[in-house]
Amino acid sequence: MKRILVTGGAGFIGSHICEKLLDEGNEVICLDNFFTGSKRNIIHLMDNPYFELVRHDIIVPYFAEVDEIYNFACPASPIHYQFNPIKTLKTSLMGSINMLGLAKRVKAKIMQASTSEVYGNPIIHPQTEDYWGNVNPIGPRSCYDEGKRAAETVFFDYHRQNGVKIKVIRIFNTYGPRMNANDGRVVSNFIVQALQNQPITIYGDGSQTRSFQYIDDLLNGVFSMMKTPNDFTGPVNIGNPYEFSIKQLAEKIIDMTNSKSKITYLDLPQDDPLQRKPNISLAKEKLNWTPKIHLEEGLKITIEYFDKLLKNNKL
Ligand SMILES: NC(=O)c1ccc[n+]([C@@H]2O[C@H](COP(=O)([O-])OP(=O)(O)OC[C@H]3O[C@@H](n4cnc5c(N)ncnc54)[C@H](O)[C@@H]3O)[C@@H](O)[C@H]2O)c1
């Protein structure tokens, strides 16, 4: 049995990680400041004696004897990471330094949840890990993008300077049950709007493309990465290369929910990337990983999740 620390463990992705790690017989410490996470995401784990919930902010050092750390704490959607951009930057950078300091002290293996946002508004398609990105350093998204880039930097510096065992994954858009319905992310937005027969809001003309992976595919990538030999640090892209336009997504969700919603178009926010698609050759080669869940299959489960929340007045 390993003792594993999951930062951001009450969030969308973190809660699934906690659940899987417990299922595999590990002891889990879930650390969260509940900025965007919620107890509802982990309430079903609370009775498990091997699950410990700690209210803590990772910009403050934390100490525990652990074997592995999954560093997933950070608001992930523009509404939330722009609410207090300085705090976002602190969470990414100071939080990573604190967790790396802990990893160094207790010789734990540590994974960083990096992001496709490190590629910014990419000039190269699809994005490979050796592309350095096209990021605006002073824009409204920079607190997140540059924070995650700086976090990657300290991960690699701790690895080179102190021999810390690191695993860096660059996560592309992910969706599934336990996404926060109020954070403006496109899949949850569209589903909730469609289920309530409200207008579906598209920013821009809807021709911008995205690729989304279902949470279970991401989890397989996360755990495969953690198991790779120590000399493989990443960064490695974990995402679904299947690409479609935002308009196509809206139409599919309207269709799948039998909704009466109409599409309305709003202005595109500043620095919104027009296209984003992962090249996953490295993940295929090193992790023997490819995404398996089709968009419709994942959307069906996610629609059911939000439908249940709406029917129980729990949104
Ligand atoms: N969801 C995606 O599509 C996606 C894509 C790329 C990268 N990521 C990364 O994955 C991680 C998890 O994302 P998510 O989608 O689950 O978001 P989320 O907002 O649901 O989860 C983030 C969690 O971190 C917690 N948190 C935030 N700041 C904290 C702090 N200073 N101290 C302690 N806890 C803190 C929040 O309360 C929340 O529980 C993030 O690091 C995010 O950047 C997510």
pLDDT per position as a tens digit, 90-100: 999 999 999 99
pLDDT tens column, 111-132: 999 999 999 988 998 999 999 9
Top pLDDT among 273 and 44 is at 44
Q: Please state, rounded to an integer, the average pLDDT across all residues of the chain.
A: 96
pTM over 0.75: yes
Strand order in the sheet with 166-171: 51-55, 27-32, 3-7, 68-71, 109-115, 166-171, 236-238
- Taking the centre of ligand 1 as the mean of its atom positions, its distance from the CA of residue 259, in whole angstroms, is 30
158 token code pair: 């701790």
What mean pLDDT is predicted for residues 269-275?
72
Question: For position 268, what pLDDT does the model report?
Answer: 84
pLDDT tens column, 232-249: 999 999 999 999 999 999
255 token code pair: 């269709």
309 token code pair: 């929340």
Q: Which residues of the chain form beta strands (DSSP E)?
A: 3-7, 27-32, 51-55, 68-71, 109-115, 166-171, 174-175, 200-203, 209-210, 213-214, 236-238, 244-245, 263-266
What mean pLDDT is predicted for residues 298-309?
97
Pocket probe for ligand 1: among 5, 6, 13, 39, the residue whose CB has the most ligand atoms within 8 Å is: 13
Distance of CA 188 to the CA centre of its chain: 14
Name which residue sits closest to atom 35 of ligand 1, judged by CA. Answer: 73
Pocket probe for ligand 1: among 12, 77, 83, 87, the residue whose CB has the most ligand atoms within 8 Å is: 12
Question: For position 15, what pLDDT does the model report?
Answer: 98
pLDDT tens column, 154-202: 999 999 999 999 999 999 999 999 999 888 889 999 999 999 999 999 9
Angle, alpha carbons 153-156-157 (nearest 5°)? 85
Top pLDDT among 239 and 313 is at 239
Strand pairing class (213-214; 174-175): parallel
Asked if residue 21 lies in contact with residue 50, where contact means CB atoms within 8 angstroms, the answer is no
Beta-carbon count within 10 A of 99 CB:
28
pLDDT tens column, 14-57: 999 999 999 999 999 999 999 999 999 999 999 999 999 999 99
Angle, alpha carbons 206-237-222 (nearest 5°)? 115
Ligand 1 contacts CB of residue 234 (under 6 A) = no
The Cα–Cα gap between 252 and 300 comes to 11
